Structures are given as structure tokens and as C-alpha cells.
Amino acid sequence: MKKENRTMSRRNFLAVSGTIAGSTVINPKSQIFAGNVATPKQSSGKIKVALVGTGNRGAGMWGGSVVKEYFDYVDYVGLCDHNPGRLEVGSQMIGANCPTFTDFEQMMRETKPDVLIITTDDDTHDYFAEKGMEMGANIICEKPMAIDERKIQTIIDAEKRTGKECRVTFNYRYSPHRAKIWELLRSGEIGNITSVDFHWYLDTSHGADYFRRWHRLVEKGGSLWVHKASHHFDLLNWWIESDPKSVYALGNLEFYGKNGPFRGVNCRNCSHTKECNFYFDIMRNERNKRLYVDNEKYDGYHRDGCVFRNDVNIYDKMAATIKYMNGVQVSYSLTTYSPYEGYRIAFNGTKGRIDAWIQESNPTTDANYDEIIVYKNFGRRQYIQLPQGSGHGGGDKLLKDQIFIPGTTDDLKQAAGVRDGALACLVGIAARKSINSKETVFIKDLTTIKPQEKKEYRKI
């Protein structure tokens, strides 16, 4: 991108960040779940929270940080993981001083939480969401909500049957850069959106990491079409403000897995460490060592698995054409072995175009802001610069503020429920099915959700 005319003055920077901050101000009326069903049962007024899955995300984003930063609003009453070692270490990292359980239903029976947070492997989310709601809790579920259409239907049905609610944590919606794009699209600056070009690049560090872990198996994470791209499809659904109608997709595995020049089981026990560009020394990271290496004896899970193992059965390059109910068409791709990590997106509209990109690793400039360019068909272009945030572009903290701090509003419609969680996954599930059948797959044929021309927002 050319740099002329876009040096950010301090005044512009503050003006832009002020707009974003100003649009998420606290209002004492809203609550975590609609219908006030999460009203705390305790006299302290704090919400009783239990968590299942004390791995990386559970111990960090939803554990330690919640205990430290949201202790005025939240009481941890129970932690669960089926790996007793990781439960013990995760519990120490979280520092909640509450009982721990390897038996989930025992935890639910004995602790009776208001809210259950689910941070287990993706293939288990449906079980914990359904059981959790049946046992009286509202749910905060990490993305992806579930990895196939049958599991998605289980959660839809359980929510209806129990009257409880499941919220899905699409932290990507909360980054100021993406929130600003949503505001620009709603402002009509580029007229009606007609098409979107969206290309996401995972690099040879973070991208490769998916092929080291349980994510490499379609039966665990639904493939990156669901595990990773559901983040991207949720952004599209939210930005376009309509439901996806149909998907046609292509994909292949041609870099990792069976394509590697050699292979081992995991990096620590491999004879190819010297010649392998993907050698990963897990022992250099104390947190990874404590969470995973020290607890391999319980479940045999290698966090530093070889990216070239023959059992990798997910795609490493993917492309899809997605049609929306309001007529918008999307050209999407995901590449997993790029020299840099980030994305490029363009919205084409009847009055102009929005271009935006993020380069998260290996950046070509040392700018400390992210940029959006708004082009008018017959006018001047506008450069908008936003401060960079840490923790998924600043999204993690804003998401937790909205979930835990009473009275936080949802002006940008960022709160996502089961319908949003389902539709994001269903695009990826449809893509998988399309690759297998070589045909266009329709979202309406997958679950009881009927796609709408105008997106239904979740109310909080």
C-alpha cells in the first residue's frame, strides 16, 4: 500500500480511537444474558462461574485474567478437566481457590453455577453445552460452537428445551479495526455492499501450529474450515448483515502432513530437528511445558506433534464462493503456510469500496496503527487509522468487559448467540461438504435454522 497522504496526526488518531471508545460506553441497563436469566443467585451479587477445559484458553483468557480483572463480578466455583495434571496446573494458573473436578457432572451437581464456560476441544462443545443447560447453567462457549451440523442442532434444541442461553465468544468482532469497518458499512459510505474479497493468511509459525495439535484432525476441530474460518465467516455474517445462503468450495492438503519430506511423532523425540524448518522446542516455554509436557503421561497428547504426521486429515489451502441471502457474493480463501500472518479484505459497494488489511507478523512497516481506506466512486479517498490492540486485536478484553461488567451495552451488535454461532460454523461445514460432493451446498438444508435476508441480531 502506498504511504502518501496517510501519516496519522495525533489529533486524528485520538479522534478515531475516541469514536470507538465512545461507541461502547457503559449503560447500567443491560446484562450478560437476555431475560435476566443470569441474575446472580448469591447475596454477594457476583455470578457463580464454572469452567470446563483448563488448557491454554481456559487457564488464560477465561481463567487467570477473569479472576484478576473481574473479581468484583465473578466468583469461580468449580474447574474441570479430564486430564488431572492439566487440571491441577490450570487451577494454579487461574488462582481461583475453588474446587476442581475430573467429573463434569459432579462439578455441575455440587457447584450449581449460574454460568458454565466451555474451553475444551471443539468436538466436545455440544456435549458440555447441552448437559450444562440441562443442569441449570447459561453457557459461554468458545468458538467454534460445534464441528458438524448434528452437534449444532443438539445445541439449538437444548437451548429451546431448557430455556437457558448459550453465548458464543466471537472476540474477533470486538477489535476496534473490525468494529470500525462494521460502523462504516452501516453508515452507507459505500452504498449497498455487492461483493466482498476476503483472504486470510496463516504463517509458518502460527499456521503450522494447527498441524501440531489436535486441530490437525477433522474429527476434533472440524478442519480449519470450522475451527479457524468460523471466526472469519462470523465476521462476514456480521459485516454483511445478512445470512449465508450457499457455499461452493475447493480445498487440498498439499504442504503439511503426508506431503512433508520426513516425519516423526513429536519434535522432542525427532531425528530430523536439524534439517526441519518446523522444529518447535516446546521446552523453551515454561507455560507450555507445565500445561502439556508434564501431563502427557495422563493422555498421551503431544502439544509439539510433528506437522508432517501421516494422520493430518485437514486441508491446508482453501477457497470458497459464498452467496448471501441479500445477494452479496464473497470470494474467500485461507492459506496456512504464508511468510506472514494477516488478512486483506475489500468490500465493493454501489457508491465506493472499503479496503482494509492487517499484517500480524513480519510487518513491512513499523506503524503502530491499523488502517482502513474508504474510496468513493466519484470522490476523494479517506484514510482511517486505528490504534493496534493486543489480545486478538484488542477484542479479548472488550468481549470480557461486555460479558462480565454489568450495564455494558451492545451498540455495535457484537454479542453472539446460538444462531450466530451456528451460522458461522455452517459456512465451514457447507464448504467441507461441497469439496466432497463437488456441488453447491445450501445452508438451509443443514439444520432447522432458516437463513434470512436481514440478519437477526442477538438481544442482550
Ligand X SMILES: NC(=O)c1ccc[n+]([C@@H]2O[C@H](COP(=O)([O-])OP(=O)(O)OC[C@H]3O[C@@H](n4cnc5c(N)ncnc54)[C@H](O)[C@@H]3O)[C@@H](O)[C@H]2O)c1
DSSP3 helix / strand / coil % (the chain, rounded to 5): 40, 20, 40
Q: Which stretch binds ligand X (CB under 6 A): 55-63, 146-154, 257-265, 400-408?
A: 55-63
- Subset of 238-297 contacting ligand X (CB under 6 A): none
The residue of the chain with the least Cβ separation from ligand X equals 55
In the bound complex, what is the minimum distance in angstroms from residue 87's beta carbon to ligand X? 8
Does position 57 interact with ligand X (CB under 6 A)? The reply is: yes
CB of 7 vs ligand X, minimal distance in Å: 32
Among 16, 33, 49, 55, which residue sits at the site for ligand X (rule: CB under 6 A)?
55
> Rounded to an integer, what is the distance from CA 422 to the centroid of its chain?
13
Q: By C-alpha distance, which of 448, 445, 455, 352 is closest to 413?
A: 455
Using the minimum distance from each CB to ligand X, give the nearer residue, 305 or 451.
305
In whole angstroms, the minimum distance from the beta carbon of 58 to ligand X comes to: 6
> Segment 146-175, which members bind ligand X (CB under 6 A)?
169, 171
| CA distances (Å), origin 209, targets 48, 125, 205, 336 | 34, 21, 6, 10
Q: Check residue 309 for interaction with ligand X (CB under 6 A).
A: no
Residue from the set 24, 91, 111, 120 that interacts with ligand X by CB under 6 A: 120
How many whole angstroms separate alpha carbon 397 and alpha carbon 55? 19
Compute how many other C-beta atoms are within 10 angstroms of the C-beta atom of residue 439: 11
Minimum Å gap between C-beta 334 and ligand X is 15
Rounded Cα distance, 157 and 302, in Å:
35
Number of chain positions touching ligand X (CB under 6 A): 23
Q: Which residue number, 82 or 344, has a Cβ lying nearer to ligand X?
A: 82
The one among 46, 180, 392, 419 contacting ligand X by CB under 6 A:
392
53 binds ligand X (CB under 6 A): yes
d(CA 437, CA 225): 16
Give the one residue of 13, 40, 65, 82 binding ligand X; rule: CB under 6 A: 82
Q: Least distance to ligand X from the beta carbon of 120, Å?
A: 4
124 binds ligand X (CB under 6 A): yes
Taking CB under 6 A as the rule, does residue 414 contact ligand X? no
Give the whole-angstrom CA distance, residue 284 versus residue 281. 6
Say whether residue 305 binds ligand X (CB under 6 A). no
Nearer to ligand X, 80 or 253 (CB): 80
Q: In the bound complex, what is the minimum distance in angstroms from residue 123's beta carbon to ligand X?
A: 8
DSSP 150-190: HHHHHHHHHHHHH---EEEE-GGGGSHHHHHHHHHHHHTTT
Whether a cis peptide bond, with omega within 30° of 0, leads into 144 is yes
Residue number with CB closer to ligand X (298 or 457): 298
Alpha-carbon distances of 243 from 237, 283, 426, rounded to whole Å: 6, 45, 11
On the CB side of 455, CA atoms within 13 Å amount to: 26
Told to check if 230 binds ligand X by CB under 6 A, we report no
Q: Is 194 helix (H, G, I), strand (E, B) or coil?
A: strand
Amino acid, single-letter form, for residue 96: A
Chain positions contacting ligand X, by CB under 6 A: 52-58, 80-83, 86, 119-122, 124, 142-143, 169, 171, 227, 392
